[in-house]
Amino acid sequence: MHPAGRDYTFYSHAARVYSRLDLFLMSHHMLHLIRTVSIGSITWSDHAPVLLDLDIPDLPSRHYQWRLNESLLKDVVHRECLSDAIAQYFDENDNGEVSDPILWEAHKSVLRGQLIQLGARCKRDRGAKIQSLLEDIQTFETLHKATPSAEHYSSLSSLRSELRELLQHHACRSLLLTKRSYYLHGNKCGKLLARALRQKYQATYIPKLKRSDGSITYLNDEILAEFHTYYHSLYNLRDSPPPPAKLMADYLAKALDVTISPEQAEALDVPFSPEELEEALKTTPTGKSPGPDGFSFQLGTIGPF
């Protein structure tokens, strides 16, 4: 795609020379899927990223669920903006004409819009700054490749350091998303477990199995059926109806000897007081997964409610 161009992917600080070390190897029948291919700027390490854009047909769309970006709440200006928006919303809508459940659920939509606006603004400003730094780095890289000098290299190092500090925010957010992914899917069957077991697949793969009659089978369906027959006979599983509900209720009545008084039961049904809610917000540890609406408890710390 660039037969007349020349660029490099690696810079050796010891030899002070550029070279091409990084590349993509692709089959000939996949060349029609290539949209663009390019070499990026050297920023984080001695190697430049090699960018390959493929046009993969029939790629399924991903389901997206909005979640609160808690890093927005660390900014004092953002907290004041959200606090003013909450106060304005309840001043204009808490007039007795709308029920409390509808008032509460509707305020989430207002806050979600404010947070999306703040997040888009921060992302746009940060992206513009990163793009400006990348363009400057590319300019000085071109000059340094043509005429290597200490002045050009010093400017390159300064720009790369500034870009590295700016990308720390993205790295921290990626780390939080990784922790959240392990928290949500760490103990479930899914892609995370499949990737972890992918390296052990070949070691535990069963290519053939000897049947009870002495014959050898190589088909997966027959191997699965043979395992099913073996363990079914081993544990002697029988089809039996579930125990009746009365039997389980009688067992629980005998096994559970701890009961509460009617006064205690009534106290448990009393609505939460503002003091109890405030104390719960103060004592709840951070880093908890948000609820179905995408908000975490930290939103309640900015008030007013």
DSSP states along the chain: --TT----SEEETTTTEEE--------GGGGGGEEEEEE----SSSBPPEEEEE--TTPPPPP------GGGGGSHHHHHHHHHHHHHHHHHH-SSSS-HHHHHHHHHHHHHHHHHHHHHHHHHHHHHHHHHHHHHHHHHHHHHHHS--HHHHHHHHHHHHHHHHHTHHHHHHHHHHHHHHHHHHTTSSSHHHHHHHTTTHHHH----EE-TTS-EE--HHHHHHHHHHHHHHHHT----PPPPHHHHHHHHHHH------HHHHHHHTSPPPHHHHHHHHHHSPSSPPP-TTS--GGGGGT---
Whether 139 has a pLDDT exceeding 80, the answer reads: yes
Number of neighbouring beta carbons within 10 Å of residue 293 = 15
- Give me the chain's average pLDDT, please: 82
- The reported pLDDT for the residue numbered 69 is 82
Q: Are 43 and 79 in contact (CB under 8 A)?
A: no
Give the Å distances, CA to CA, from 115 to 39, 73, 85. Answer: 35, 9, 11
User: pTM of whole model > 0.75?
Assistant: no
Whether 149 has a pLDDT exceeding 80, the answer reads: yes
Q: Is 159 exposed, middle or buried (0-12, 13-18, 19+ CB in 10 A)?
A: buried
Model confidence at 35, pLDDT cuts 50, 70, 90, reads: confident
Across residues 129-154, what is the average pLDDT? 86
Share of the chain above pLDDT 90, in %: 6
Say which residue, 105 or 288, is predicted with more confidence.
105
Whether 28 has a pLDDT exceeding 60, the answer reads: yes
- The reported pLDDT for the residue numbered 117 is 92
Model confidence at 240, pLDDT cuts 50, 70, 90, reads: low
Whether 4 has a pLDDT exceeding 80, the answer reads: no
AA letter at 94: D
Judged by average pLDDT, the poorest of 5-19, 68-82, 143-157, 280-294 is 280-294
- The reported pLDDT for the residue numbered 116 is 92
- Provide the angle, in degrees to the nearest 10, between the axes of the packed helices 168-185 and 150-166: 40
What are the tens digits of pLDDT across the range 43-92? 777 888 899 998 887 766 677 778 888 888 888 888 888 888 888 998 88
Model confidence at 278, pLDDT cuts 50, 70, 90, reads: confident
- The reported pLDDT for the residue numbered 124 is 92
Whether 241 has a pLDDT exceeding 80, the answer reads: no
What are the tens digits of pLDDT across the range 178-226? 887 787 777 778 788 887 777 777 677 788 899 888 888 888 888 899 9
Q: Are 156 and 134 in contact (CB under 8 A)?
A: no
Residues 6+ apart with CB under 8 A from 160: 42, 43, 44, 137
| Closest of 285, 299, 288, 287 to residue 68, by C-alpha | 299
Say which residue, 106 or 28, is predicted with more confidence.
106
Whether 237 has a pLDDT exceeding 70, the answer reads: no
Q: Count CA atoms within 13 Å of residue 68 on its CB side.
A: 24
Whether 305 has a pLDDT exceeding 60, the answer reads: no
Give CA–CA dist 285/303, Å, rounded: 18
Whether 287 has a pLDDT exceeding 70, the answer reads: no
- The reported pLDDT for the residue numbered 19 is 87
- The reported pLDDT for the residue numbered 304 is 54
Nearest 10 degrees: Cα torsion 305, 292, 169, 114: -50
